């Protein structure tokens, strides 16, 4: 079965890549291991308004819009992050993904569900892809968009992302209307945070990201939400997924490019990967288009893609990881102290006003703090 390009993984980044390549006139096949599109996706679907403006999401998939969020310290101090204009949009994640797939199919993308790719081989004049079920596909090139997947990245000769975090999520009834709320503290998450993101006055997506002990952290978040009368009593069943906390040593090879979570292109501070994944997909699409036209898809040529995405988000990823490591070392006492200082010195608002801190971009704020550490403790 010959195609110009095979895209592995029907998550948002893979589907978007397949759609755009088909729009450029390529014959594209999308291979997905699940038997069908997931009805429930373990992802909150929060994206920035910047991302929404660039990629134009359908209004029918928007569940909520936020211009503020309350962040809680471990002891319940509140920090209000408020802007005059909407900052974040919450998507119905499975609806959005299904809508994107429909668009891709309308553009001519062919799909194979229930197709778990487990082998890739460069044949010299193309790439051969094999699946667990024994199928074989050939193409000029392949885009790997299979989420966090060390087995496949090793099979593709791209090494593996060793570090990861656990992402947990559930949809739950809420006891009272609420805004977007974030929860910090070692009992809820090591290195990250928990959240409650309302869909309407009665339902919310509840989730957390943590480096360790996912089950204990879920209980910690549950206890805090319950103590604040935000959720009714009783255990809430969650789904859990690993998210990468690092990058592949190379996101390219002979005839292959890696995008999205597969390549580790997500915000290290929050685990948000939709926007950065789509931005990098745009670069992968342009690179493939150019290289297929020249007929040279060698590793050396494909390296242009990595240079492109690293110059776009590389600084954010390094700064975010450093920030994440520092935060992981803080105990609850130190987190309380930072909340106290931020509450009185208005540092977060000042950085937001200077555009150093946005929903997606945290690197400038971190660089500012490194240069001016006293801003953190100055009242
Ligand atoms: C709890 C949680 C909450 C999150 N909330 C947000 C959020 O609010 N905002 C945000 O931006 N990001 C969020 N994220 C991250 C976001 O979900 C990912 O960054 C995003 O889904 C990445 O898209 P992707 O297409 O790269 O990979 P994925 O969405 O992981 O899709 C990969 C696809 O590849 C398929 N696949 C895997 N292996 C194979 C194989 N061998 N062969 C064929 N197919 C394969 C999988 O079945 C899957 O369908 C969250 C993550 C978690 C865990």
Residues in contact with ligand 1 (CB, 6 Å cut-off): 8-14, 31-34, 42-47, 116-117, 145-147, 149, 152, 167-169, 207, 241, 243, 260-262, 266, 271-275, 277
Domains of the chain: 2-43+93-161+247-323 (3.50.50.60), 46-92+163-243 (3.30.9.10), 331-377 (no CATH)
What does the pLDDT profile of the chain (379 residues) look like in tens digits? 567 999 999 999 999 999 999 999 999 999 999 999 888 899 999 999 999 999 988 999 999 999 999 999 999 999 988 888 999 999 999 999 999 999 999 999 999 999 999 999 999 999 999 999 999 999 999 999 999 999 999 999 999 999 999 999 999 999 887 899 999 999 999 899 999 999 999 999 999 999 999 999 999 999 999 998 899 888 899 999 999 999 999 999 999 999 999 999 999 999 999 999 999 999 999 999 999 999 999 999 999 999 999 999 999 999 999 999 999 999 999 999 988 888 776 766 666 666 656 788 877 777 777 777 666 666 5
Which residue's alpha carbon is nearest to atom 2 within ligand 1?
43
Ligand 1 pocket test target in 6, 19, 44 with most atoms within 8 Å of CB: 44
Task: Report the nearest atom of ligand 1 relative to the CA of 146.
Answer: 34
Contacts of 372 (CB under 8 A, 6+ apart): none
Task: Report the nearest atom of ligand 1 relative to the CA of 168.
Answer: 1
ipTM exceeds 0.90, yes or no? yes
């Amino acid at each position: 079965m010959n195609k110009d390009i095979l895209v592995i993984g029907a998550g948002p980044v893979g589907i978007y890549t397949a759609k755009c390549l088909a729009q450029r006139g390529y014959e594209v096949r999308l291979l997905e291991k699940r038997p069908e599109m997931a009805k429930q996706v373990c992802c909150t679907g929060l994206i920035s308004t910047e991302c929404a403006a660039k990629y134009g999401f359908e209004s029918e998939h928007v569940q909520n819009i936020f211009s503020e969020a309350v962040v809680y310290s471990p002891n319940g101090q509140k920090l209000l992050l408020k802007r005059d204009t909407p900052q974040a949009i919450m998507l119905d994640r499975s609806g959005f993904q299904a809508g994107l797939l429909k668009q891709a199919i309308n553009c001519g993308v062919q799909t194979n569900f229930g197709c778990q790719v487990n082998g890739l081989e460069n044949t010299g004049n193309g790439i051969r892809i094999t699946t667990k079920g024994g199928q074989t596909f050939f193409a000029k090139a392949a885009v790997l968009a299979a989420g966090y997947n060390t087995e496949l990245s090793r099979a593709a000769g791209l090494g593996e992302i060793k570090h990861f975090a656990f992402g947990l999520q559930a949809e739950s009834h809420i006891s009272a209307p609420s805004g977007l709320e974030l929860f910090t503290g070692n009992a809820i998450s090591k290195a990250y945070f928990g959240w409650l993101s309302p869909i309407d006055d009665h339902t919310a997506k509840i989730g957390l990201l943590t480096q360790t002990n996912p089950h204990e952290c879920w209980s910690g978040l549950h206890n805090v939400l319950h103590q604040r009368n935000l959720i009714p009593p009783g255990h809430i069943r969650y789904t859990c997924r690993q998210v990468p906390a690092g990058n592949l040593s190379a996101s390219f090879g002979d005839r292959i490019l890696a995008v999205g979570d597969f390549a580790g292109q997500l915000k290290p501070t929050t685990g948000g990967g939709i926007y950065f994944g789509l931005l990098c997909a745009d670069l992968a699409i342009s690179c493939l288009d150019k290289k297929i036209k020249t007929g040279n898809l060698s590793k050396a040529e494909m390296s242009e893609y990595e240079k492109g995405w690293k110059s776009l988000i590389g600084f954010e990823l390094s700064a975010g990881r450093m920030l994440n490591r520092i935060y992981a070392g803080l105990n609850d006492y130190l987190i309380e102290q930072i909340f106290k200082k931020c509450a009185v010195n208005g540092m977060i608002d000042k950085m937001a006003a200077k555009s150093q801190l946005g929903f997606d971009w945290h690197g400038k704020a971190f660089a500012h703090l490194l240069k001016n550490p006293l801003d953190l403790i100055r009242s």
